[in-house]
Structure 1
């Protein structure tokens, strides 16, 4: 598909509410474990900017494997994150 690059813009996504819930859940789990965003990023093997953007709901449709890595680093399952 020519001309389509990258992720959808926040205003174009149908997952805005879900992104906000995901952001809150990840931030809450990180803070409960007394981890900084930097520490979570290292444990998950992602950039700290990725953690920050997801926690601020700036990434509306984050990559599946990024979320799996962050969940694992927090000791959570995907079901835990969803609830």
Structure 2
């Protein structure tokens, strides 16, 4: 192991190379949710994720969401990955 400091956890937003994509994903996810007439609570429940996670994703506070979280949201929305593209 090198002598450098070891950190754990997710990268901070400013350090993530995906910050720009997260900034586009959040509003698109919100748009799809509203188009389908879901509240945040309804979508979170249907996707079996925490409401706080959905809120953070919609505001781009989560810049590297989990793969299975995205899949759960897409399934609950009846959407495809392509539907998230801007």
> What TM-score results when the alignment is normalised by the length of structure 1?
0.92
Q: Does 1:6 pair with 2:9?
A: yes
Aligned with 2:46 (options 20, 43, 52): 43
Match of 2:72 in 1: 69
Q: CA deviation at 1:14?
A: 1.1
Distance in 1 of aligned mates of 2:10 and 2:67 = 13
Distance in 2 of aligned mates of 1:79 and 1:32 = 16
Q: CA deviation at 1:68?
A: 0.7
> What TM-score results when the alignment is normalised by the length of structure 2?
0.89
Q: CA deviation at 1:34?
A: 1.2
Tell me the alpha carbon deviations over residues 20-42 of structure 1, each in whole angstroms, 9 at most, x when there is no partner.
Answer: 11101100000111111000000
Q: How many residues align?
A: 83
Q: CA deviation at 1:82?
A: 2.4
Q: Which entry has the higher C-alpha Rg, 1 or 2?
A: 2
